A and B are shown apart, each in its own frame.
Chain A
Amino acid sequence: MTPLEIEALGLSLLVSGWAVAGSLPLGLACAWLLARCDFPGKAVVDGLIHLPLVLPPVVVGYVLLVVLGRRGVVGSWLFDWFGVTIAFTWKGAAIASAVIAFPLMVRAIRLSLEGVDRGLEQAARTLGCGPVRTFFSVTLPLMLPGVLTGVILSFARSLSEFGATITFVSNIPGETRTLPIALYALTQTPGGDAAALRLCVISVVVAFAALLASELLSRRLQARLKA
């Protein structure tokens, strides 16, 4: 692989990894909220969480820029108090990816949570486990296959994130030039076709490997529960 390819691939993995790791706790919380709680305005929350799934990614990117940009509502505050800049950095790329992939993660986790037998949780309670302990010793292990699916799906979605990323953090070599963005740049460059094709192949291989790994892991987990 060329240095450009290695850089783009490494950056993609870094950005997607952080996007997933950062959004997982929030994803679990949102899935819990939607699966287990009833509150007024639940439909609105549900809609907001799923919005990035149907909005053009460019819209998401632009909103992020307005909010988190150096002069944005939150962004200016972050810069003034902590000296942190998010826009046009890899952190911004991770946030953009996380927002776009979030609905996929929440959906998968929520489904697995709804599949957990509440009777088992009740049994754990009668055996002396408080609610938190019950969650970690019974609920979470039982929903692990779904959590894993959510993680891999959102990781794969993050890898392919383009619209929101380029709008929010642009195309900066070594900072925000992930695989799809490098690929797009190459297609805009005369004579870049061969290199673009190589990036295409790399993208397909990485995405496919992620899906395959998820399927295998999920099968092993399911088998452990059944055997």
Chain B
Amino acid sequence: MLKLSVRRRQGAFQLDVDLAAGAGVTALYGRSGSGKTSVINMVAGLARPDSGRIEVDGKVLFDSAAGIDLAPERRRLGYVFQEHRLFPHLSVRGNLVFGRNRLPAAERGVDFDQVVEVLGIGSLLDRRPANLSGGEKQRVAIGRALLASPRILLMDEPLAALDSARKAELLPFIATLSRRFAIPILYVSHAMDEVLRLADTLALMDAGRVAVAGPLERLMADPALRPLTGRYEAGAVVSAIVASHDAAYGVSRLSFAGGTLLVSRNDFPVGAKVRVRIHARDIAIAIDPPERVSIRNVLPAVVSSVTPADSFLVDVVLSCGGAPLWVQITALAQAQLGLVPGMRVHALIKALTIARGDVAGHEDP
């Protein structure tokens, strides 16, 4: 558990951050220049807060009031940088054991062979970093940080320097890391697709502060946070469990708080926990349940809020058995339907609009 409350002035920029990060992946999301990297550097001890307190698992790393400021090497944190920062004069093996060798044997909680296997770097051990591809380098860098048996793993946009193919290859690794090694991760990113895939908890940063933090599903369904989550297609994220596959029709059934969701066929095993992204533009609202309609998902819901987005669009949030769904309708539709909070309606979602890419595996932390 990371608890942090720090202030730091950087030129004309004022950072004032309060944040708690527990088990699983906490994503620190914000646009470039919002101070994300500074936060992670202060946790690592590479930047010094002007004042405040940083604590991990009850161990105080920094406390301006008590005059505590542990050196980076005494903080026991793993840091994966945006650029891999592997030591060019050491082999992959030498890099991997670099931090581990500085630990007393009793404190080496992470197993070397397991890390090598999970990251698939067994064949690279005797190579030098200069001979590795970008994705391989970053995997070795992750292994190096993990093998230092850190209290928490800090990742500063570890995929930003990679092309999309490498990124797609690394994302599943990162998604399983926190659970497999029981290490919480603080993940800094300005790419919403990574955040949606990885984060359990989302902290939205804006102009040097954490504007809001909470479970990803709740934050993503909140149109009021649109300016912060922005730059990404509007939509809600719901947690679901794969209920069945229907190979004959090429569809899968997912069960979630609001009922059963029919989506395009995916490859997750039955029973797998997944996260589904439903775009706000792909949902329609009907007051009466339509009959004889092609739309496969007709879900009873209650209107939670109705907010004009601009002069032509209205954001409507529905509660579908407790799961928030974000719907965008035209102002004209709203004028005719007259939606108000508390109204019972039906959310209509075409199965086809939820494609493979919108469903991602996601175990609980």
Contacts and interface: CB of A to CB of B under 8 A. Distances in A.
Contacts of B77: 126
Contacts of A226: 88, 128, 130
B99 interface: yes
A129 B102 contact: yes
Interface string A124-154: 1111111001000110011000000000000
B147 to A, nearest CB: 9
Closest 5 pairs between A and B when the two form their complex, measured CB to CB? A127-B99, A128-B102, A125-B72, A126-B79, A123-B85
Nearest to A141: B89
B268 interface: no
Interface size class of A (residues with CB under 8 A): 20 to 34
Given A122-B72, A128-B148, A142-B89, A227 B46 contact: no
Given A128-B103, A128-B148, A123 B81 contact: yes
Interface in A109-129: 117, 119-120, 122-129
A120 B130 contact: no
B98 interface: yes
Interface residues of B, number: 27
A125 B72 CA distance: 6
Nearest to B97: A127
Contacts of A36: none
B44 interface: yes
Contact of B85 (A120, A129, A227): A120
A225 interface: yes
Contact of B44 (A126, A130, A141): A126
Interface of B: 44-46, 71-73, 75-79, 81, 83, 85, 87-89, 98-99, 102-103, 128, 130-131, 144-145, 148
B72 A126 contact: yes
Main secondary structure of the interface of A (DSSP, over half): helix
Given A142-B88, A226-B88, A129 B130 contact: no
B246 to A, nearest CB: 49
B71 A125 contact: yes
Nearest to A226: B130
B349 to A, nearest CB: 45
Contacts of A227: 128, 130-131
A120 B81 CA distance: 10
Contacts of B128: 224, 226-227
Given A126-B73, A138-B89, 12 more contacts: A119-B83, A120-B85, A120-B87, A122-B46, A123-B81, A123-B87, A125-B71, A126-B46, A127-B98, A127-B102, A128-B76, A129-B73
Interface in A85-131: 117, 119-120, 122-130
